[in-house]
A and B are shown apart, each in its own frame.
Chain A
Amino acid sequence: MQCYLPADVPLPDPASWERQFWVHCAERRLMFQRCADCGAIRHPPAPACAECQSFADAWISATPDAELYTFTVIHHANHPALRDAVPYNAAVVIFRSLQNVRLVTNIIDTAPEELRIGMALELVWEEPVAGRVLPRFRRANLLARR
C-alpha cells in the first residue's frame, strides 16, 4: 500500500502499557485510554490515571470532530528512510468533544500551503507494513458528513 511516509520509517515499538492502543489501530479503531474509575481520558497511554491514580483502565472511541491544532512541514530529513519523502508534514490533531487528547499524526492529500490551523479533518488508516496500521488524517469532506 502506498502510504504518506515510506514503510521503513520507524514503526511503533510500544511499551507494555502502550500496546493496546496499537492493537486497536490494527483493528482500524482509534481508541484512547480512559480511567475505569474517574473517567479521565489520557494520551499517550500510561500505567496510571494522572487524575485519581487508579490503575484500572478502559478505552473510548475517538470522535469524528478532529481538527488541526498545529503542524510543521519538514524539509530536512534526519533519517535515511525519509530522504526522498521531504517535504512532508507532521501535525497535532485535537478532537472537539474529547478532552485531554492531542494526537501526533500526518495530514495526507493536502499541499503544505493548504494546511490551516483549525481545519476539520477526517481519519484515514494506512498500513505501511502488513498488520501495522497508523492513524492519519485528511481534510474532512464536510458535505459528506452532513
Chain B
Amino acid sequence: MRANQPCIVGIGQTRYTKWGGIADASEIELACRALVAAARDAGLPVTEIDGIASFGDDKSEPALLQAALGLRELRFSSMLWGGGGGGSCGAVELAAMAVETGHANYAIAVRSLAQGQTGRFGRYDPNWHHASFIHPFGLLAAPQLLALSVRRHMHEYGTTQEQLGAFAIACRRHAQRNPAAVMRERPLDMATYLGSRIIADPLRLYDCCLETDGACAVLVTSYERARDLKMRAVPLLGAVHGSSKGWSTGPLGAHNQPLDRYASTGARSLARDLYGRAGVTPNDVDVGQIYDNFTGLALMSLEAFGLCEQGQSGPFAASGAIEWPLGRLPVNTHGGCLSEAYIHGLNHVVEGVRQMRGTSTCQVEDARVCLVTGGPGPAPTSALILGRA
C-alpha cells in the first residue's frame, strides 16, 4: 500500500438513545467524547488530531472542539454542504483528502446529534429547499416527500409492502445482537410491521428511521502513520460525493428529478465513479452498510450501487439475501438508522470499519470489501468503500 493511502485507524461513539434520552450532555460534549473515544481506540493522544470534517450542518464547530480538547494545531477543517445524512461518507472523504494531500496528519469525521435538545428532523422546517412548491400541499417532512418515490417504485416494478418490511426486519434482527442499538430487545416481525400505523403511505412507522441522541467519529490517517498505531488500519479504497443534473431539485425537494430514473436515488453515476476509484466491482462487495432513512430508499440504493438489478431490490431483500449470517450480502449489520441509531449514517461507516476489522456483532466471515452509502434523497449524497489491509 502506498505511504499516503488514507486508512481508518480509530472509531468512537457515545451511548445512543431515543431522541431526548441524553439530557446531561450537550451536542458539543458528545462530539468531544466521540473524538476522545476514536483517538483512544487508535492509541493516539486526542490532542494530535489536526483535521476535523463534518456534514449535515453539524453544530460542533472545530473552534469549540479544539478549545474543549486542547487540540495542539488545527490544520484542516471542512463541512460538506447539504442537509441530512447525504454527506456521511463525504465527510470521511474530506478527512481522507486532507490526509492524502498532507494537509493534516490525523483528520477526523464527526457527527453529533442530540435531537431532544436541538430539534427533530421529522418536524416542519420553513427553510427547506423549494419549500414554496411543496409545503403548501402538505408535504412538510422527509417521509412524506420520499413516499412519492416509493409509490412510483412500487408502480413501476411491483415492489410490495412486505418487501419494504423485509428490509426493516433484517435491520431489526441485526440490532438484536448489537449492545449499542437503541432497538435491541425490541424485535420486529412481519405481522407487527404490517400492523404498524401509516405515516405517509406506503411508508409505515417501521419504514422510517429512528430519531436519536448520540455521536460518533472516524479517525483517518495515512498508511505510513497508521503503522505506528494500535489498531489494524482499514484502508479507504474510495469515496465520492456529488449529484447528477436534475437531482438537486429531486426527491427531497420539488420532485423534478428526471422521469426515466424518477423512482431511484439518482446515485448511479456516483456508484460508477466510486467503483472505478476503489478498483472493485459490485460483485466484490461482501457486506453493505446502506443508509436507511426509509426502507424504500435503502432498497433503491441497493439498485443504484449495482448490488441487485434495477427494480429487483424488493425481491432481493425478501429473499433473505441481506440478512446475516446466511444471506449472500448482509446489510446493516449494526441495525442501521432503522434500528441502531440515527447518527446520520456516520454510524454506518463505524460499522463498516468493524466489519473490516472482524469485530462486528454480526461479523461476515472473511469480509474483505464493505460498501457504505450516504443518505439518499438529499444532494449531494455520498458513498465509500472500505477494504482490508
Q: Which A residues have a C-beta under 8 Å from some C-beta of B?
A: 5, 9-15, 18, 22, 43-44, 50, 69-76, 78-79, 82, 85, 87-88, 90-92, 94, 100-106, 117, 134
Contact = CB atoms under 8 A, between A and B. Distances in A.
B155 interface: yes
A72 B255 contact: no
Interface string B188-231: 00000000011111110000000000000000000000000000
Interface residues of B, number: 41
Contacts of A90: 137-139, 144, 148
B137 A102 contact: no
Contact of A105 (B137, B141, B144, B249): B137
A23 B123 CA distance: 29
Interface of B: 122-124, 126, 130-141, 143-144, 147-149, 151-152, 155, 197-203, 245-246, 249, 253-257, 259, 262
Given A75-B197, A106-B137, A134-B136, A44 B130 contact: yes
Contacts, number: 119
A88 B200 contact: no
Contacts of A11: 135-136
Nearest to B133: A44
A82 to B, nearest CB: 6
A78 B136 contact: no
Given A72-B201, A75-B199, A85-B138, A102 B255 contact: yes
Contacts of B124: 10, 78-79
Contacts of B201: 72-75
Contacts of A117: 151-152, 155
A74 B138 contact: yes
B200 A10 contact: no
Nearest to A5: B138
Counting from the closest, the 7 A-B pairs by CB-CB distance are: A72-B147, A12-B132, A70-B152, A75-B198, A10-B135, A76-B199, A44-B254
15 contacts: A12-B132, A13-B132, A18-B132, A72-B147, A73-B198, A74-B138, A74-B147, A75-B198, A79-B124, A87-B198, A90-B138, A100-B256, A102-B254, A104-B255, A106-B138
A91 B198 CA distance: 17
B131 A72 contact: no
A100 B249 CA distance: 12
B198 to A, nearest CB: 4
B127 to A, nearest CB: 10
Contacts of A103: 133
B131 A70 contact: no
B119 to A, nearest CB: 13
Given A70-B152, A102-B254, A82 B197 contact: no
A12 B137 CA distance: 10
Contacts of A15: 132
